[in-house]
């Protein structure tokens, strides 16, 4: 066996072995020994020929009314790049085949969705793994799609839920608007009451001032009347005391608003 051993010039940690001509006897277990001044290590490698991929495993399927979801786990790719397809069977006939799905790596979960199925119908599914060496398929899995009324029930349920949400939103909006209107109405009522109270207060102040002016005028009238009465009493007493004494003539200077003087010329005999 002739081959070439190379080392990665970038990190010095990657070693590659390449052999262009391979015979059946070249496959088997190889010992790779790596050593330096501090010691050595040996790695055992099992070299096998490329084959078709191993069978996809743990395939599962969930049927709906007009579709189905298929899921599986990838296996060893056979030493070459592999891809996957899902085949749908109806009875003994091939119904459809999915698009090609790329491999995500060994032991990884893969899935796809199958469309355009008939309600209340049994289908058979299997997953195929393919590379340049061949194709392997998973075990067949059967599944029956749902009946149409399940779909209608789902639609009705979804519509009812959407309607309930819409109704709740409308109720919330109405409640908010009513609260705003009520708050505005209370504010207007409070404003009217404050204005009415201010008007009554102004009217009360005006009435108090008018009463004070009227009481002042009444006080002045009573005071003037009292003064005039006192003077008249004094004049009568003096005349009764000295009826014949001309010097006791009393001159009554009664001053009125127009400042006119009046002389009392009444004589008693």
Lowest pLDDT segment from 182-191, 211-220, 259-268: 259-268
Token pair 């066996």: residue:
1
Average predicted confidence (pLDDT) for the chain: 77
Structure tokens at 258: 């127009």
pLDDT value, residue 180: 78
Structural domains for the chain? 4-47 (no CATH), 57-146 (2.60.40.10)
Model confidence band, residue 263 (pLDDT cutoffs 50, 70, 90): very low
pTM, rounded to two decimals: 0.49
* pLDDT value at residue 256: 43
Q: How far apart are alpha carbons 127 and 179 in whole angstroms?
A: 62
Q: Report the SS3 class of residue 55.
A: coil
Interacting residues of 238 by C-beta distance below 8 A, sequence separation 6+? 248, 250
Model pLDDT for residues 227-250, shown as the tens digit of each residue: 555 555 555 555 555 554 444 444
User: What secondary structure letter does DSSP report for 14?
Assistant: -
How far is 262 from 73, CA to CA, in rounded Å? 138
What's the rounded Cα separation, in Å, for the pair 102 and 126? 17
Per-residue pLDDT, averaged over 51-73, amounts to 95
Give the pLDDT score at 259: 44
């Amino acid at each position: 066996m002739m081959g070439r051993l190379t080392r990665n010039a970038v990190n010095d940690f990657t070693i590659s072995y390449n052999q262009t001509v391979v015979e059946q006897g070249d496959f088997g277990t190889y010992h790779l020994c790596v050593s330096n001044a501090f010691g050595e290590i040996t790695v055992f490698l099992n070299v096998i020929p490329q084959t078709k991929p191993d069978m996809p495993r743990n395939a599962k399927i969930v049927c709906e009314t007009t579709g189905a979801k298929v899921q599986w786990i990838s296996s060893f790719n056979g030493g070459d790049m592999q891809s996957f397809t899902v085949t749908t069977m109806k009875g003994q006939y091939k119904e459809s085949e999915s698009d090609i799905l790329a491999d995500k790596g060994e032991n990884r979960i893969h899935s796809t969705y199958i469309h355009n199925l008939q309600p209340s119908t049994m289908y058979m599914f299997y997953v195929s793994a393919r590379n340049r060496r061949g194709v392997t398929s998973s075990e067949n899995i059967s599944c029956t799609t749902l009946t149409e009324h399940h779909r209608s029930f789902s639609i009705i349920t979804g519509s009812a839920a959407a309607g309930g949400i819409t109704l709740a939103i409308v109720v919330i909006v109405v409640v908010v608007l009513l609260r705003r209107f009520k708050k505005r109405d209370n504010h207007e009522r409070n404003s009217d009451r404050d204005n009415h109270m201010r008007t009554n207060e102004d009217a009360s102040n005006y009435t108090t001032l008018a009463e004070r002016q009227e009481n002042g005028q009444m006080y002045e009238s009573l005071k003037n009347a009292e003064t005039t009465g006192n003077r008249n009493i004094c004049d009568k007493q003096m005349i009764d005391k000295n009826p014949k004494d001309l010097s006791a003539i009393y001159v009554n200077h009664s001053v009125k608003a127009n400042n006119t003087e009046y002389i009392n010329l009444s004589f008693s005999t």
